[in-house]
Amino acid sequence: MACERRWACPKPAVCALRRSWSNRTCQPADVLERVGLPISVGVARTKFLAKVASAVAKPDGLLVVPMDGELAFLHPLPVERLWGVGRVTADKLHGAGITTVGEAALLGETALVSILGLATGRHLHALAHNQDPRPVQVGRRRRSIGSQRALGRSPTPPDALDAIVLGLVDRVTRRMRVAGRLGRTVVLRLRFDDFSRATRSHTLPWATADTEAILATVRALLTTAMPMIEQRGITLVGLAVSNLDDDDAVQLALPLDRHSGSALDVALDTVRRRFGSTAVTRAALLGRDPGLSMPLLPD
C-alpha cells in the first residue's frame, strides 16, 4: 500500500523540492496497516539530517533528502530543529533575531560562539551547515533491553504496582534470553502525576538474565522510591537492563563477598591449577620476587 505526503513548505523557494519528495512511496504506511503503529523514516547523508528528516516526516511518512538539496531542506526549518537547541538556547537565539537554521548558518561561527559559548556555538554552526562527522556503525547490537507500562492517572495500589513490575521483569528477561544476552545494570524509571521523572539503578556483581535476580533488584529499587510514589502518584513505570554482553562471553564471577567463606580460596586454587601458580596473585605481591618454590611431594 502506497501513501502520499504533502509537506507544509516554510518558504516558497523550496516548494518544488518538497513536491518531488511528496511523490515517493511511503513504506511506513505498510507498517501502520499491518501492526497498527505509525513510524517515520528519514534518509540523508548524515545522521543529524536523517534524524531531522524523520521528525519532519512524522507521523507516518518517508522522507529522503537528496545530497544536492540538503541545505535547501535544512535552512528554512525552525532553529529548534538543530540537535541541542532546547528552550534556553532557543530563547538566546530568538533574542538575537535568529529563528531559522539558515539564519544561524549566515550568522557565522564567531557570532554564535559569542551568543552561546564556545562548545555550543561551534556545535550549532557545524550542524547548520550539515556537518556531522559521526560515522554510521553497522552490526552494533543494542545497549539495553527494556519495557515500560503506562498506568493512567488513577491511584495504583502497591500490590497492583508490584504485579505490573513482575510482568515487566518477566517480559524483559524473556527477551534477554531469546536474544542470548546477559546484563548487569538494572534501571527503574518512574513518571509521576506532576510529569516529573525519577530514575533508580543498581549494578549487579555479575551479569545475568535470571528473572528472580532481576526481580529482587527491581523490587529493592521500587522500595526506595515508594515515598515519592505515595507523595506524587505514579503514571508510568519502566524497566531496562543494560551493560549487556553475550551469554557465552561473560567472565564467571569470583565469590568476592566477605561472607563467602572458603569459596574464594577454592576458586583461586582452581585458576592456579589450570593456568599456573602465577596466573593470579595479590596486588601487594605484584613486581616482587616470590622466592624459590619447592614442589610438594605427595603424601
**pTM beyond cutoff 0.75:** no
Q: Three cell numbers at 256?
A: 568476592
Instruction: Find residue 202's DSSP bridge partners.
Output: 186
Contacts of 236 (CB under 8 A, 6+ apart): 148, 149, 150, 151, 189, 190, 191
d(CA 130, CA 165): 43
DSSP state of 238: E
Whether 212 is covered by a domain: the verdict is: yes
DSSP state of 293: -
Please tell me whether residues 69 and 94 are part of one structural domain: no
Please tell me whether residues 148 and 242 are part of one structural domain: yes
d(CA 126, CA 123): 5
Distances in Å between the Cα of 5 and the Cα atoms of 26, 45, 64 are: 8, 21, 12
d(CA 293, CA 299): 18
Instruction: Find residue 148's DSSP bridge partners.
Output: 238
Closest by CA position to 76, among listed 34, 96, 105: 105
Whether 282 is covered by a domain: the verdict is: no
Whether 16 is covered by a domain: the verdict is: yes
Domain membership of residue 150 as a residue range = 144-246
Please tell me whether residues 164 and 235 are part of one structural domain: yes
Please tell me whether residues 111 and 179 are part of one structural domain: no
Decide if 287 contacts 281 (C-beta within 8 A). no
Amino acid making up residue 240: A
Whether 262 is covered by a domain: the verdict is: no
Decide if 82 contacts 104 (C-beta within 8 A). yes
Residue 212's CB is within 10 A of a number of other CB atoms, namely 10
Please tell me whether residues 85 and 65 are part of one structural domain: no
Whether 28 is covered by a domain: the verdict is: yes
d(CA 98, CA 90): 9
Q: What is the pLDDT of residue 214?
A: 94
Whether 35 is covered by a domain: the verdict is: yes
Please tell me whether residues 38 and 83 are part of one structural domain: no
Contacts of 251 (CB under 8 A, 6+ apart): none
- pLDDT tens across the length of the chain (299 residues): 333 343 344 333 333 344 444 444 446 667 777 777 788 889 999 999 999 999 998 877 889 999 999 999 999 999 999 988 989 999 999 999 999 999 999 988 999 999 999 999 999 999 999 999 888 777 777 889 999 988 888 888 888 899 999 999 999 999 988 888 899 999 999 999 888 889 999 999 888 888 999 999 999 999 999 999 988 899 999 999 998 888 776 666 666 666 666 677 777 788 888 888 778 887 877 777 766 655 655 65
CA 91 distance to own-chain centroid: 27
d(CA 212, CA 173): 10
Q: What is the pLDDT of residue 245?
A: 83
Length of the chain: 299
Please tell me whether residues 121 and 148 are part of one structural domain: no
DSSP state of 27: T
Report the greatest alpha carbon distance in the chain: 95
Residue 216's CB is within 10 A of a number of other CB atoms, namely 14
Distances in Å between the Cα of 87 and the Cα atoms of 71, 92, 198, 222 are: 24, 9, 21, 32
Q: What is the pLDDT of residue 69?
A: 92
Torsion sign (Cα): 269, 273, 274, 277: positive
* pLDDT tens for each residue of 239-272: 999 988 887 766 666 666 666 666 777 777 888 8
Decide if 243 contacts 185 (C-beta within 8 A). yes
Q: How many domains does the chain have?
A: 3
Distances in Å between the Cα of 240 and the Cα atoms of 127, 172, 183, 201 are: 31, 7, 10, 9
